Structure 1
Amino acid sequence: MSSPKVNKTIQEINERIRKGKAVVLNAGEMTALVKKIGKTKAAREVDVVTTGTFSPMCSSGLMFNIGQEPPVMKTSKVWINNVPCHAGVAAVDGYLGATEPAEDDPLNKVYPGRFIYGGGHVIEDLARGKAVHLRAEAYGTDCYPRRKLDKDVTLADLPFAQLLNPRNCYQNYNVAVNLTSRTIHTYMGPLKPNSHNANYATGGQLSPLFNDPFLRTIGLGTKIFLGGGTGWVLGAGTQHNPKPPRNERGIPLTAAGTLMLRGDLKQMRARYLRGVSIVGYGCSLAVGVGIPIPILDEDMAWFTGVSDADIQMPIKDYGYDYPNGLPRILGHVTYEELKSGEIMVNGKKTQAVPLTSLSMCLEVADELKKWIEAGKFLLTEAQETIPSF
């Protein structure tokens, strides 16, 4: 007689978390367990799988309010540590983009080897409790007469400071190579000529969206680990591709799903928010994101049992094809092969270089695991689904 199928609810899992009885594994541990005992037994034994990623996520930024002091103002231009912010919101609201460079280090003056300070570094400085210099200008109105503001502030001085990241957690991404005869500088890092290196990102089997490839449990209102604090999924991120080609496990074969995220910077830790300077290209922000995956049934156990060998990533030429918008893919390589440090590109051995910190990916997944095991973090149900097929 066959055993009944596994069918859990998030409410039941949360009750187990409250009682300290929930079984929580990180994504790497779940991969090993599913391989050992199969998806059915794993689904019965495990309640939650924690995932983690820590990688440059360029489409990130800070929505903030600087507060008012007499005489009040409506800012038209704002700089923090000489990094321009968008002030066309209202009164003293603004948005600081992670990839915006400081005005004294603009992109048209960037040369290989230079450190590029920008929005991502400002966000890290604020998270560290450092004072930053705020400068604002306004055209002045009857109700907002102040025209200039110039002072140092800390995160504690800002009435409102929330990370609002339009596009994080890419579900899959390109392995970048350069087939031209000169070194090029890209957002994937420097690429040597004639495919002498292949740069790649994502956390492989630890990465959130590889563990829920059809976004069954992730949507509007999903509570997550963001930058060392609690965050939330707002929905699909910009450039979200709901219908990518997939392999037999459902893993996308090209860049696919993305998430829009939000969280209170005042709850976060600088360890999980690091300003990034990409040589010869610009600046960004490395963000730590961890998403809990509830094991509702055997299918979710199967999905979270994904291994690095199951993940196939597309190889693209950033020397000619990418900048010219050409869709050519040079082939696919597994994440397991990339982690070995060497892959084959056009029949040539090529060094594989990660932009993602795997040790930090694991740390994020394990930190979230501790929160859940301690009963400090409950799961939430998505209030709106994200298209994924």
Structure 2
Amino acid sequence: MRKSIEEINERIRRGEATVLTAEEVRDLVEQGAVSELQDVDVVTTATRAVMSGTYAVLSFGLAEKGSFARSVSARINGVLAHVGPCPNERLGHIDLIVFGTAHRDERYGGGHLFRDLVARRSVCVDVETSDGRCISRELTLDEIPHARIFGTRNAFMNYSAFVNTGGVAMSTIFHAIPFPVSMSGASFSGCGILNPLENDPLLETIGVGTRVLINGAEGFVIGTGTRSTPERPNLSGFADMHQMMPEFMGGFVTSAGPECITSWAVPVPVLSQSVFNAVSRPERAIPLPVMDVGTRSSLWAADYAQVWRDVDLAVRVRPDSCKDCTNCIAEISCPMGAIKRPVRIDRGLCFNCGLCSVLCPEVFRARLGSVRSPDGIHVPVTLRQSDRLRAIRLAEILKERILDGSFRISACVKRLSP
């Protein structure tokens, strides 16, 4: 028996729908309280992760009409912005595209800039004109009428864990410090059972036009992203920056430079038995491929239960154990700049990556799990590039909005084909 979007929306309107987060539905399945298609109407899913394929499109007035013919280059807070494609000749207006992975220096990039804008912090725009002049202006997001975040490759159904099998530490986007050698540590991405496409692997409900939350703002899926495959689909989409929430975005500093954090929340209407089967799968049934970070070759398949079950989603701090080192390795290495003195964690910035608990376990404590091979190899996780704690919060926010009627489930206008 199949259900329809219209039937589910009517049940929501009448206050009769069962809307659960992806974690809640798994708990209820384990308890035997949910066992069939009719037991649940919508599952809210979410992910918060380092997502390189993110950029912003900004359009705003820079100066008076006629003050310059065209802009040829621009930077915002020192981050390179690409001018165009519309020349806006002599209108005093500019259109800019900023990549999430562009950076001013090794600690500040596009992801940091996007969060600063959404937090309504003032930023400095420097533009070179076609006649060689420089025009500068300080502004906030409220002075940028058109500001959208686009994802070109976001929310993969299945990410990977990485290890370094070699004997030389490697600078890479997959770790915040040079990657530990000889498989002494692993990094991974993906929120397991919360990942949107893990709950709709056949793309029965998620398609072009599906209404979603991106960084907390209502947006839409516009297709599959680059490098999407039937085995590992991903999404592209957009949303308005003015409605975004800074806690779900930001910059993440890796040993190869700054990266961009992006969050998605996607409703999955449980329309068919195949969707119900997907939203019911336990975490141990979701594969987590393990790859060599140097060769990008596959080593074995772990599963997400190994890294998300019986672990700590947040790091605990023991200030009394701090020796107040002159050069605090945890503070220096934190990819979010979230560790402050006297020793504490700025929870508004913290990504819950767990690196501090590896570098200074006397002060920072967290169980991070490990990736384990079928023949008994155990590699401890030393960095998480997904923040499950905030993904849970975003899934709960989406659930609340669906139930209070402020977010309406939408049918896709076209099925996706990876």
Out of 141, 151, 169, the position equivalent to 2:155 is: 169
Deviations 1:312-347 (A, max 9, x none): 11111113x12xxxxx31110011112351233575
Deviations, residues 255-288 of structure 1 (Å, cap 9, x unaligned): x11111100000111011122111x211122112
- Counterpart of 2:27 in structure 1 is 32
In the other structure, the counterpart of 1:359 is 389
The 3-state SS of whatever aligns with 1:240 is coil
Q: 2 CA distance for matches of 1:344 and 1:47?
A: 35
Give distance in 2, aligned partners of 1:75 and 1:17.
Answer: 50
Which of 100, 117, 124 aligns to 1:98? It is 100
Q: Does 1:179 align with 2:165?
A: yes
Verify the 8 A CA contact 1:34 1:302 in the aligned structure 2. no
For the 8 Å contact 1:32–1:305, the answer to whether it is kept is no
Alpha-carbon offset, residue 36 of structure 1: 4.2
Q: CA deviation at 1:58?
A: 0.9
| Residue pair 1:17, 1:378 contacting (<8 A) in 2 also | no
Equivalent in 227, 246, 251 of residue 270 of structure 1: 246
C-alpha displacement of 1:156: 0.6
Q: Distance in 2 between matches of 1:50 and 1:81?
A: 36
Q: Which residue of 1 aligns with 2:347?
A: none
Once the two structures are aligned, what percentage of the paired residues are identical? 29
| CA distances 1:89-127 after superposition (whole Å, capped 9, x unpaired) | 11311110010011xx2xxxxxxxxx5201111100000
- Partner-residue secondary structure (3-state), 1:193: coil
Contact 1:34–1:301 (8 Å) recurs in 2: no
Partners of 1:99 and 1:354 in 2: CA distance = 19
The answer as to whether partners of 2:59 and 2:146 remain within 8 angstroms in 1 is: yes
Alpha-carbon distance between aligned partners in 1 of 2:413 and 2:234, rounded to the nearest angstrom: 17
Which letter does structure 2 place at the counterpart of 1:276?
A: F
Q: Secondary structure at the match of 1:387?
A: coil
| One-letter amino acid of the structure 1 residue matched with residue 414 of structure 2 | E
1:217-240 CA distances to partner (integer Å, 9 max, x unpaired)? 111100001111101101011111
In 2, the alpha carbon distance for the partners of 1:290 and 1:312 equals 21
Contact residue 20 and residue 399 of structure 2 kept, 8 A: yes
For structure 2, the residue ranges without an aligned partner over 5 or more in a row are: 88-93, 310-368
1:234-313 matches, cutoff 5 A: 234-242=222-230, 244=231, 256-278=232-254, 280-313=255-288
Partner residue of 1:369 out of 378, 392, 399: 399
In the aligned structure 1, how far is the partner of 2:376 from the partner of 2:41? 44
Q: Select which of 91, 96, 110 maps to 1:119.
A: 110
CA drift of 1:84 comes to 0.5
Q: Calculate the aligned-residue CA RMSD, in Å.
A: 1.8
Whole-Å separation in 2 of the counterparts to 1:259 and 1:233: 7
The one of 136, 153, 167 equivalent to 1:150 is 136
Q: What does residue 372 of structure 2 align with?
A: 344
Residues 128 and 134, structure 2, Cα contact 8 Å, conserved in 1: yes
In structure 1, list runs of 5 or more residues that go unmatched. 106-114, 141-145, 245-255, 323-327
Q: Verify the 8 A CA contact 1:34 1:42 in the aligned structure 2.
A: no
SS at match of 2:268: strand
CA displacement 1:173-210 (0-9 Å, x = unmatched): 22100011121121111420000011111000011010
**What CA distance in whole angstroms lies between the structure 1 residues aligned with 2:239 and 2:406?**
17
Structure-2 residue corresponding to 1:220: 208
Q: Report how many aligned residue pairs link the two structures.
A: 347
Distance, in Å, in 2 between the alignment partners of 1:123 and 1:221 is 24
SS at match of 1:52: strand
In structure 1, the partner of 2:15 is 20
Q: Indicate the residue corresponding to 1:159 in structure 2.
A: 145
The one-letter amino acid of 2:388's match is: L
Partner Cα distance (1:300, 1:343) in 2 = 28
Give yes or no for contact 2:192–2:308 (8 Å, CA) kept in 1: no
1:204 is aligned to 2:173: no
RCO higher in 1 or 2 (8 Å CA, sep ≥ 6)?
A: 1
Match of residue 72 from structure 2 = 76
Cα distance in 1 between the residues matched to 2:247 and 2:376: 40
DSSP-derived class of the 1:184 partner: coil
Contact 2:222 2:237 in 1 (8 A): yes
User: Does the CA-based 8 Å contact 2:306-2:372 persist in structure 1?
Assistant: no
User: Is 1:330 equivalent to 2:299 in the alignment?
Assistant: yes
Give me the TM-score of the superposition, normalised by structure 2.
0.79
Taking a change above 3 Å as real, the CA distance of residues 313 and 68 of structure 1, as seen in their structure-2 partners, is: same
